[in-house]
């Protein structure tokens, strides 16, 4: 029976492509959800200390990305210090991909097409106006390589907005 490439769980697996390449990893629902920013049971990510030694570059990349996300926890920082990636694999790991999670000021996960509301007056550089607090920005786009930036249209202009100044509607 097939096993999750991260935690070793058996059962139905989800094929997740590790962008920007086309190589994929096989993940259980818990790991796939966690990769997208959903909550996982306490201690679940401890399995990364084993999966990071995989012979598969795609598994190393997902392990590196998750360990970086968790590096405030001592064990994850220690594991990250031990993890060695070949230079081209490290570039791949750093290149972001679909697992970059955009969150609003309250921690809610943002998706492309969402509507957000500005929580602060924001001067628009080069736009000559200030986007007012309470302005709804509909149909946002996510900046793929930066979890702190989204794009949206305010007063007819397409602008980049920091996620720390919006809340999901």
- Nearest alpha-carbon partner for 120 in 131, 129, 110: 131
Residue 86 has φ and ψ, to the nearest 5°, of -60, 150
pLDDT of residue 54: 95
pLDDT of residue 85: 94
Q: Is the pLDDT of residue 19 over 80?
A: no
| Non-local CB neighbours of 148 within 8 Å, separated by 6+ positions | 102, 162, 163, 164
CATH 2.30.30.40 domain residues, the chain: 116-168
Region 139-166 average pLDDT: 89
Tens-digit pLDDT profile for residues 41-99: 999 999 999 999 999 999 999 999 999 888 888 999 999 999 999 999 998 888 765 45
What strand order describes the sheet that includes 141-142?
141-142, 149-154, 157-162
Residue 69 has φ and ψ, to the nearest 5°, of -65, -30
| Non-local CB neighbours of 21 within 8 Å, separated by 6+ positions | 58, 92
Is residue 24 classed as helix, strand or coil in its secondary structure?
strand
Fold for 116-168, please state it: SH3 type barrels. (2.30.30)
Q: Is the pLDDT of residue 114 over 70?
A: yes
């Amino acid at each position: 029976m097939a096993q999750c490439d991260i935690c070793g769980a058996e059962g139905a697996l989800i094929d997740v492509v590790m962008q920007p390449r086309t190589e994929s990893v096989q993940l259980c629902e818990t790991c796939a959800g966690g990769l997208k920013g959903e909550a996982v049971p306490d201690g679940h990510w401890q399995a990364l200390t084993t999966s990071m030694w995989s012979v598969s570059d795609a598994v190393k990349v997902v392990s590196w990305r998750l360990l970086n996300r968790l590096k405030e926890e001592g064990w994850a920082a220690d594991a990250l210090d031990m993890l060695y990636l070949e230079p081209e694999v490290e570039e791949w790991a750093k290149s972001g991909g679909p697992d970059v999670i955009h969150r609003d000021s309250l921690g809610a996960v943002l998706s492309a097409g969402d509507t957000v509301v500005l929580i602060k007056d924001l001067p628009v550089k080069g736009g000559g106006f200030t986007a007012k607090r309470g302005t709804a920005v509909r149909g946002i786009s996510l900046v793929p390589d930066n979890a702190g930036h989204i794009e949206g249209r305010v007063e007819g202009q397409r602008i980049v907005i920091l996620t720390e100044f919006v809340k999901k509607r």
